[in-house]
Amino acid sequence: MFHSIDEKNAPIMKKFTQFLITSIAMTACMLSAGQARALTFTEGDAGDLMDSALNVGSATEINGVISTSSDIDLFRLTIDRTGNTTFDATPIKSKDGSQLNINMFLFNEKGNPLFSLEPRDEDAMKFDFATAAGIYFLGIGTDDMDALDAKGETIAGNDSDIVNAKGVLGGWSVGSESAGAYNIKISTIPTDKVPTPALLPGLLGFGIKALRRKKQEGDLVAVPVKA
């Protein structure tokens, strides 16, 4: 009598079927996780302090609008992988040709300043930061805006200057008159995929490397920042 699967081969086929089902399930989970990280978030009404910051989770892109020189958008951001994180900020030109002179700040979960940067004039800007997985606060505002503590003392200047790394965000100064929409792209290269230390001397030990796009030069210039 003919049998499609004899008793000897049945256990092997059973194991193969289980392996195939498991592999398909794992692949589906991996694809789902990858799609979840590709998240675009449009700012509606972000607060300006940590208790009112807009939680964007692990968003990879944020779109927002700064309406006045005293407006600040603060986002509570989750970076879920230790590695090298790139923040790429681009002001969006309005119909009349004007655009935001953007200013960007990064704080840790406690509100201590880690980084601040503004470009020359109304340029786009990008900076890389070696991050541990965790919670961060990303602040977006106008040119000449400073981050202050609860006493009104400056903890982070608007021009790549961390005045008090142990200070805690408690307020903001008023910036220069500027308004407009912006786009922020956020991406993290996990530590196990980051190039060798010899190629990234400025990123080890949570070092910081900032890049400014200058209109006059038309290229990126590395700017060291105090930690």
Predicted local distance difference test score (pLDDT) of residue 117: 82
Distances (CA, A) of 121 to 4, 34, 105, 179, 214: 75, 36, 17, 13, 8
Give the domain ranges of the chain.
1-37, 43-224
Predicted local distance difference test score (pLDDT) of residue 62: 94
Predicted local distance difference test score (pLDDT) of residue 223: 34
CA torsion, ordered 15, 20, 24, 25, to nearest 10 deg: -10
Sheet with 154-157, side-by-side order of all strands: 161-162, 154-157, 147-148, 171-172
Strand partners, 89: 125, 184
Predicted local distance difference test score (pLDDT) of residue 206: 34
Predicted local distance difference test score (pLDDT) of residue 98: 83
Predicted local distance difference test score (pLDDT) of residue 160: 63
Give per-residue pLDDT as tens, 155-203: 998 766 789 999 999 999 988 888 899 999 999 999 876 554 433 443 3
Predicted local distance difference test score (pLDDT) of residue 178: 83
Alpha-carbon span 54 to 136, nearest angstrom: 12
DSSP state of 171: E
Predicted local distance difference test score (pLDDT) of residue 120: 62
Helix %, strand %, coil % of the chain (to 5): 20, 40, 45
Predicted local distance difference test score (pLDDT) of residue 119: 67
Predicted local distance difference test score (pLDDT) of residue 126: 85
Alpha-carbon span 155 to 157, nearest angstrom: 7
Alpha-carbon span 212 to 152, nearest angstrom: 28
SS3 label, residue 32:
helix
Distances (CA, A) of 137 to 140, 176, 201: 10, 22, 25
CB 185 within 8 A of CB 88: yes
CA-wise closest residue to 168 among 148, 188, 183? 148
Predicted local distance difference test score (pLDDT) of residue 108: 97
CATH number of 43-224: 2.60.120.380
CA 78 to chain centre: 9
pTM above 0.85, yes or no: no
> Which residues of the chain are modeled with pLDDT < 50?
1-5, 14-37, 196-227
